Amino acid sequence: MPGPLGNRCLWIPISLLQSGTMPVDSPRRKTGLINIRLAAMILITKLQLKSPANLSELGRIKRSKVAHLSTGHHYRYVDIQPPKGVTTIVTALLLHGFPDSAYGWRHQVKGWSGRGIRLIIPDMLGYHGSSQPTDPEHYAMKRLSDDLEELIRKAGVPEGEKIIVIAHDWGAGVANRLIQFKPELVKGAANFCIPFMPPSTQYIPLEKYIELLPSFQYQAFFASLECAAVLDDNQVATSECPSFEKNGVVEAWLKDNTQNVTSELLSKEELDIIVSEIKAGVGFGAMLNYYRTRKINHELEKDLPQDIRPDIPKLMIIPSADPAIPPAISINAEKKLKNHEIVWIEGLCGHWVQLEKPEESERIVGEWVERFAAKDWVP
């Protein structure tokens, strides 16, 4: 999940959160700055909209399906086949992060399907459209891997046929374990922002992790039981934001009623879709459970191989200006990998690569898929 660092907290022009970047000489490039890791949270907190948007307006869901699994969970997903006359070269499972949805891939689906990639795009567990259990146990990477394998088969991918996975943020975290827990399912993987990393052999409490990486202090707030109510009840969109390294700062800042609400970060149609999805579900309560699974995941993952899938091609698309994951983490992870590629997105590109660099994101992954499909996914 990741220019100058200020108090170890990266600041990015607010205009870069729009779909595409602003011209260099645009006056909006020179306006306020915002901590981009909290930007999605800022976007979809309690905004007052007249009515929910029709999700098909921007191609979000034309023929969505629902898969009911043996676990009792259900997943809403979109199944996009290549256009008529285009041969399918591979099936890809697209996994979004927090707080996003299948809609987050809207700028890439046309290009990828046009290259012959069948796309299966679920709303992840905890998000509206799919099951939203309250117990963090349901969000363990092992259980999610089991769910996603069953989803793929229910979508009609036959037993024995392998897929690739394309993922962002928490979705990439899930992908990292999916490729290990389900080696018979996945033959290639591409991660946005999150490097491929094996599980830790020793449990590291979140508090200790924050000592090592103070910019992760926000995760303590997200993991707290009070967080969902704060996010659901407060609205913030501002050009200034404090350092989030100290405990309690995020909550206090969100509760500051002097902050302004704006919908300028995305188009009105996009904001309507994003916010209506949150309001139609249970708010932030379920999706925050991903932050509460650290101990649960460790117990289920500690015996997995430290050499993470050397037998398959792996692609990492890493923005150099992502505050969520400092570049050093990806650099160190790369040293321990085999059969991988890393593409650095330089300049003012932060955490939301698919929005900030939509065409580049499509091209990098699309060309990688075409290259390895021609080699039958031999790394």
Radius of gyration of the chain (CA): 20
- Helices (H), strands (E): how many in the chain? 13, 12
Whether 190 contacts 368, CB under 8 Å = yes
* Range 16-25 average pLDDT: 28
Report in angstroms the alpha-carbon separations of 291 from 145, 195, 212: 17, 18, 17
168 and 36 in a common domain:
no
What distance in Å separates the CA atoms of residue 337 and residue 327, rounded to the nearest whole number?
A: 16
Q: Is residue 316 part of a domain?
A: yes
244 and 220 in a common domain:
yes
* Range 19-44 average pLDDT: 32
Q: What is the CATH number of the domain that holds 153?
A: 3.40.50.1820
How many structural domains are present in the chain?
Answer: 2
- Which residue, 95, 100, 274, 98, is CA-closest to 186? 95
* Range 53-60 average pLDDT: 38
What type of residue sits at position 87? T
177 and 208 in a common domain:
no
317-353 pLDDT per residue, tens = 999 888 778 888 999 999 999 999 999 998 888 888 9
62-93 pLDDT per residue, tens = 579 999 999 999 999 999 999 999 999 999 99
72 and 188 in a common domain:
yes
311 and 175 in a common domain:
yes
Q: Is residue 249 part of a domain?
A: yes
Q: What is the largest CA-CA distance in the chain?
A: 57
209 and 195 in a common domain:
no
What type of residue sits at position 2? P
Range of the domain at 270: 10-49+204-284
- pLDDT of 121 above 90: yes
Q: Which of 18-22, 244-248, 329-333, 369-373 has the highest mean pLDDT?
A: 369-373
Query: Would the CA dihedral through 270, 274, 277, 279 be positive or negative?
Result: negative
Question: Residue 259 corresponds to which tokens in the numbers above?
Answer: 């902050």
213 and 188 in a common domain:
no
Residue 339 Ramachandran class (φ > 0 left, ψ -120 to 50 alpha, else beta): left
Q: How confident is the model at residue 238 (pLDDT cuts 50, 70, 90)?
A: very low
| CA 223 remoteness from chain centre | 17
Report in angstroms the alpha-carbon separations of 376 from 10, 180, 181, 182, 207: 40, 20, 22, 19, 44
Q: How confident is the model at residue 22 (pLDDT cuts 50, 70, 90)?
A: very low
196 and 301 in a common domain:
yes
Q: How confident is the model at residue 193 (pLDDT cuts 50, 70, 90)?
A: very high
Q: How confident is the model at residue 3 (pLDDT cuts 50, 70, 90)?
A: very low
